[in-house]
Amino acid sequence: MKKERSAKPISEPRFVRQLVLLLPLTLFSGCVVGPKYSRPSTQVPPTYKEVPEGWKAAAPSDQIPRGKWWEIFRDSQLNELEEKVNVSNQTLKAAYEQFLQARALVRFNRADYYPTVTAGASGTYTRPSQNRPFSTSTTITKKNTTDLVLPVTASWEPDVFGRVRSTVEAARSNAQASAADVESVRLAVHAELASDYFQMRSLDAEEQLLQSTVTAYEKALELTQNRHKGGVASAVDVAQAQTQLETTRAQATDVQVQRAQFEHAIAVLIGEPPSSFSLTVRPWTSPPPQIPPGLPSDLLERRPDIAAAERRMAAANAQIGVARAAYFPSLLLTGSGGFESGSVTTWLSGPSGFLVAGASAAVTAFDVGRRRAASDQAKAVYDQSVANYRQTVLVSFQEVEDNLAALRILDEESRRQQEAVAAAERSLNLSLNRYRGGVTTYLEVTTAQGLALNNERTAVQILSRRMTASVLLIRALGGGWDASQLPSADLQASTVVKGQ
């Protein structure tokens, strides 16, 4: 009769080799169960409707400077203030720190690709009671025991069905969206500073106009008083001249209140206390530069808020993969090894070594629709992000069209207003000559003076609106930013969002 062979147990080294060979197989057999991401289409017009007829394409020297777009206005003091924003603006710093949080979350999720290893050491000394219940002579032969353990434990969940990959992709896309948010905040703060600056300079011009008008009114009052002393003019004429003068002085004082508010706002934007910041009076009289709007399709790459919305779509798409991975089993590989002995002298010797390795798999069999609800929620979040993206694109086109229209209409209004200013000046000169010749009363002069001053102030205010519209147009066009400046997939290009 033939002897049966007894099955030989697998030796530890052989089992370990098999387990090591199994790990790459589980790694490379993984598959991502989420949908492949592609940017949803959106309606893009071929051209801007509000581009004025006759506008020529700007020469290369007239293009918006990349990053430092404010240099297009050729104002050294504005350039100096804008440079301080990148260094000291607290709103921008807060946005950048939020980006750093998002970038750290990418590294946190990426750690799930690799095993978690823990190590430690423990030692116990046991002296059993000789009078404990059920003790016999055999159980108390060895009274005292020592157990010294030096374990190393490792556990790893292979990303077989792409849950970790989808989570990392979502975190990476959110980090890129956060980087775009930093650029949106940067663009908004720089634009707000430029807008406040030009409005303040326009108030300087308005105050200068009022002060020169006060000087002219003082001479007119002196003339009227002399005519009254000579019996040519009445006391009514003197009172009217005095009223006109004091009203204009009050208007000049009121302008200073508004200027101080803009000056304080600029101080906060550059991170300085308003009490220690001041800007000298410098009236702004130059017209805004020509700003090339480019093509509407370029806007999808030139605005950081559109880039942020697009990246959040990618993150929402990756979250669908995370939700779908819950339908599949999870595999966990564990292992521990080390040394264990009852004596320090033999603790680290070969016979004291031990090794334990194992694998487990688990799948949710019944959850009352929880996974389906999570998947439906992820899909709804993605659809919402698509709608938000398309709305952001539409609003961006609206902002560009609004400011193109404002510049076109205000340019025409400015020309008409200059004609009105010239006509008002001619009317005032005629009224003064008629008054000096005794043909009319001073009421005609005050009326002409009021019209001239109102038209001149309106011309200054129109220039202020044109400068503000220019700044808002640059902001609507993205300020020279481009989506290629977003941090790369490994998020190592952090200098992109730190400053230009």
Angle at alpha carbon of residue 62, lines to 59 and 68, rounded to 5°: 145
In this structure, what are the phi and psi dihedrals at residue 140, rounded to the nearest 5 degrees? -110, 20
- 452-464 burial string, b = 16+ CB within 10 Å, else e? bbebbbebbbbbb
Measured in whole angstroms, how far is the alpha carbon of residue 443 from the centre of its chain?
57
Same domain, yes or no: 198 and 300? yes
Same-domain check for residues 455 and 339? no
Return the ∠ at Cα 69 (arms to 270 and 398), rounded to 5°.
100
306 and 419 both lie in a single domain: yes
What CATH number corresponds to the domain at position 154?
2.20.200.10
Give yes or no: residues 271 and 338 share one domain: no
448 and 337 within one domain = no
At how many degrees (to 10) do helices 163-229 and 76-88 cross? 140
> Token pair 């999570």 is at which residue?
374
Domain's final residue, options 362, 387, 409:
362
256-279: pLDDT as tens digits? 999 999 999 999 999 999 999 999
Please tell me the distance from the alpha carbon of residue 269 to that of residue 255, in angstroms, as a whole number: 22
pLDDT at residue 493 greater than cutoff 70: no
Residues 342 and 313 in one domain: no
Nearest to 298 by CA among 90, 54, 52, 476: 476
Q: Which amino acid is at 352?
A: S
- Indicate which CATH number applies to the domain containing 391: 1.20.1600.10
- Assess if residue 2 is contained within a domain: no
Tell whether the model's pLDDT for residue 10 goes beyond 60.
Answer: no
Q: pLDDT per residue over 84-135, tens digit each? A: 999 999 999 999 999 999 999 999 999 999 999 999 998 898 887 777 676 5
Tell me whether residue 225 is in a domain.
Answer: yes
Residue 45 carries which side chain, given as an amino acid letter? P
Cβ 129 vs Cβ 144: under 8 Å: no
- Assess whether 57 and 192 both reside in one domain: yes
**For residue 424, is it within any domain?**
yes
SS3 call for 336: strand
- In the 8-state DSSP scheme, what is residue 139? T
Distance between CA atoms of residues 79 and 77, nearest Å: 5
- Please say which residue of 362, 382, 405 terminates a domain: 362
Co-location of 204 and 63 in the same domain: yes
In a domain, residue 18? The reply is no
Q: Do residues 168 and 109 make contact, with C-beta atoms less than 8 angstroms apart?
A: yes
Residue 254 included in any domain: yes
Q: Could you tell me if residue 27 is inside a domain?
A: no
Within this chain, do residues 420 and 480 fall inside the same structural domain, yes or no? yes
Number of neighbours of residue 34 by Cβ within 10 angstroms: 22
Q: Are residues 409 and 483 part of one domain?
A: yes
The count of domains in the chain is: 2
350: domain range? 115-129+137-158+329-362
288 close to 470: Cβ distance less than 8 angstroms:
yes
Same domain for 341 and 481, yes or no, is no
280 in the same domain as 208: yes
pTM: 0.83
Burial 270-286 (b: 16+ CB within 10 A, else e): beeeeeeeebeeeebee
The reported pLDDT for the residue numbered 54 is: 52
Is there a domain that residue 465 lies in?
yes
Query: What is the token pair recorded at 172?
Result: 């990476």
Q: Would you say residue 16 lies in a domain?
A: no
Residue 491 has pLDDT above 60, yes or no: no
Mean pLDDT in the chain? Answer: 86
